Amino acid sequence: MPLPVPKEGETREQFLEHCPFDPEIRAEFQDFDQRLAVCNNLYDQATKEEKSFRITEQQLNREKYIKAWDRQIKIAESREFKKWFQYFKRENFKGVDLFLQTGKATGFDGLFLDTDITELYINLFTSVGTQVALWYQDNFEKYIVKDQSPENWRQMFAAYGQRFAADKVTLVSGNRKKELQAVLKRLLNDPEFQALNERQAQRILRNQFTSYSRMQAMRLIRTETTSAANYASTQTATNMFSEQGYNKEWLTAMDGRERQAHALANGQKVSGDKPFLVGGEYLKFPSDPSASAANRINCRCTVLNYPLGAVEEIQPTVTGGSFVSNVGFAIAGEVIIND
């Protein structure tokens, strides 16, 4: 079977929504990042049509940029959610089965292992980072000073994911175990639950922990994908232009659900080598891992990195001074915690 090619009028973003999942591509390339790189090359070879957003005109339009960015984020978020949801569900089901076998809400040390979660973080940062880096590099090709290969991006983002995970895995693992234990302990004192037979209890628990796993994965993915994407955009700009070769701007989803500190930060501009000042904290980009939970969890903000020489070309948004409201993450229209 031939490899997929873009349909007439299909943008790169639309093509990348289905190309990596094509049976022929999946059969030949097992790693998603490889499939993504191959699909990018297939698009380049097959079409010279303009992308949904590309910095080749005299003006950089914020609204177009954000819509294109939002599309990339939703692709990444949907892909990463599946991995984390399946992992959380599998580990929770193991805990349920152990609980039904022993009648105890303890003994969960073998679940939610640090090594497993570290690997998930590395994969998340490698996959999301490479996707965003290729997209950013492609769209700012007019200003490229230094080019990078997909393999270079993968190595860089995998290393960052490893460092990032070192600070997060113990907390993530510990919280999942505590939540599992807390739910099961409550059920030990529930007479209606205790009256169920093992099959009934297992069905109820699996349904309940499927919902918990979905919420756990959504909450984590919304924050960490934002972090990975904004880090990738910033790092790509740094590699392409050097830290002194670009400016960055903080963009907030101004839809009435934003944090006050983030509303005040909206439109803040700094040099590429300087941090933003947001809520009394110095942050390199939205969802910076160094930020406090109040400044980071479920943040929906975006960093716009643009090279020197394009700064005077930036257009204001055309939505009456407010940022487009659909920036952020959603799965089946669900939102766990508002920004």
User: pLDDT tens digit string along 26-48?
Assistant: 887 778 877 888 888 788 777 64
- Per-residue confidence of the chain (339 residues) as pLDDT tens digits? 678 888 877 777 788 888 888 888 888 777 887 788 888 878 877 764 344 444 443 456 777 788 888 889 999 999 999 999 999 999 999 999 999 999 999 999 999 999 999 999 999 999 999 999 988 888 777 666 556 677 888 999 999 999 999 989 999 999 999 999 999 999 988 999 989 999 999 999 999 999 999 999 999 999 999 999 999 999 999 988 888 889 999 998 888 888 999 999 999 999 999 999 999 999 999 999 999 988 998 898 999 998 876 544 444 433 333 333 233 222 222 222 233
In this structure, how many other beta carbons lie within 10 angstroms of the beta carbon of residue 231? 26
pTM, two decimals, is 0.74
pLDDT digits (tens, 9 = 90+) for 254-274: 888 889 999 999 999 999 999
**At a CB cut-off of 8 Å and minimum separation 6, what does 6 contact?**
12, 15, 42, 43, 46, 47
Tell me phi and psi for residue 318, to 5 degrees. Answer: -100, 20
| 3-class secondary structure per residue, the chain | CCCCCCCCCCCHHHHHHHHHHCHHHHHHCCCHHHHHHHHHHHHHHHCCCCCCCCCCCCCEEHHHHHHHHHHHHHHHHHHHHHHHHHHHHHHHHHHHHHHHHHCCCCCCCCCCCHHHHHHHHHHHHHHHHHHHHHHHHHHCHHHCCCCCCHHHHHHHHHHHHHHHHHHHHHHHHHHHHHHHHHHHHHHHCCHHHHCCCHHHHHHHHHHHHHHHHHHHHHHHHHHHHHHHHHHHHHHHHHHHHCHHHEEEEEECCCCCCCCHHHHHHCCCEEECCCCEEECCEEECCCCCCCCCHHHHCCCCCEEEEEECCCHHHEECCCCCCCCCCCCCCCECCECCCCC
CB count, 10 Å around CB of 319? 13
CA 94 to chain CA mean position, Å: 27
